[in-house]
Amino acid sequence: MNDRAPSRQRAISVVLAGGGTAGHVEPAMAVADALTALDPDVRITALGTERGLETRLVPERGYHLELITPVPLPRKLSGDLLRLPMRVRRAVRQTRAVLDDVGADVVIGFGGYVALPAYLAARRRVPVVVHEANASAGLANRVGARSARRVLSAVDDPGLGDVEVVGVPVRSAITSLDRAALRAEARAYFGFDADARVLLVFGGSQGAQSLNRAVSAAAKDLAAAGVSVLHAYGAKNTLDIGDSATDGVPYVAVPYLTRMDLAYSAADLAICRSGAMTVAEVTAVGLPAVYVPLPIGNGEQRLNALPVVNAGGGLIVDDADLSPGFVAETVVGLLTDTGRMQTMTAAAALAGHRDAARRVAEVALDVARSPNRKSKR
């Protein structure tokens, strides 16, 4: 008798390849939660590297983590580029060992350092589902999509050929959020009046200095218009808003926000970057936003925000154009235009994908249970 029962008679084994940054790890963890909700017996293994955020985030969520050699692609000719083939071979060997050890039935890849070796290790062995969160796919997912059974994405054309648009998987604490029901509690938590107009400002976990400078310099104008501010400026930054500048209108400045659910519920409008996860969360809760794409990279942050903006759920302003004057005129103008705010709020909600994590999980389980599990595309 075989040591391992046929896959249809044992718990399905899913390997998640999405390590490195929060933009890769968080969607993977949201899908892990959705998988366990759909099939409590599912066995989940996350791949990661010793220097990625997954070393903290995956164990915190209660999932098993296996570490492999990271395979970052150098952007210029260097020693790292010359060593790349050796690193890829080592990482692929390590990943094959993990796939064999856990009896993987499907690999779900989200891009990043661990996705490329996962795709190569799974080829002709384990079916692959690729998820692309950004509007412009990276190298790892471009490689994985060539042999994947299913390719899922946040937008229509991320550069991977035919895709199934499902949105970006977001944790259930956000997708289940009822902003209207929590509004009074959220505003009391941060010290705002129940009927205040509230602007939420955040630039990711590290903050964004251009957002910090522009909004803080417009504090007097915001206060004069009766706009309260909740501003997460980043743990490595400082922000000093004098009481005289706000004239008694609350300007709550904190290094970071531990209760994003309450922050989203308290706010009427956000000023934020437009990374894939930020856009996904903001639209999932139906919060209109002024998106300020990161001014470096290949322009993917602007592309991430465009579908929401085109739907009427937000605005895009270039980082160089985000000035105190823009905040005082355009942002204040939005917040004080009740009709436009209602229209933007409805459009933002329609642009979101609250069920993305569940849809990715359903696809993965369908692939794992398919009698014809050989990867093909």
Indicate if the alpha-carbon torsion angle 35, 37, 41, 45 is positive or negative.
positive
207 annotated ligand binder:
no
Alpha-carbon distances, residue 94 vs 121, 122, 131 (angstroms):
9, 12, 22
Q: Is 301 annotated as a binding residue?
A: yes
**Residue 134 is labelled as binding a ligand:** yes
DSSP structure class, residue 226: T
CA 161 to chain centre: 22
Report the distance separating Cα 124 and Cα 226, nearest Å: 62
Sheet containing 227-232: which strands, arranged edge to edge?
251-254, 227-232, 197-202, 269-272, 289-291, 314-316
Which of 269, 262, 273 has its CA nearest to residue 332?
269
Residue 270 has which token pair? 């956000």
Q: What is the CA radius of gyration of the chain?
A: 22
d(Cα 268, Cα 53) in Å, to the nearest integer?
Answer: 31
167 is in an annotated binding site: no
342: left (phi over 0), alpha (psi -120 to 50) or beta: alpha
How far is C-alpha 287 from the chain's CA centre? 15
120: tokens are 């190569």
- Which residues are CB-neighbours of 273 under 8 A, at least 6 positions away? 203, 204, 208, 211, 291, 292, 293, 294, 301
Please, are residues 143 and 116 in contact by the beta-carbon 8 Å criterion?
yes
Amino acid found at 93: R
Residue 212 annotated as lining a ligand binding site? no
Tell me the torsion sign for CA atoms 83, 92, 61, 185: positive
Hey, what are 277's tokens? Answer: 């996860």
Annotated binding site for UDP-N-acetyl-alpha-D-glucosamine: 21-23, 134, 171, 205, 301
Annotated binding site: 21-23, 134, 171, 205, 301
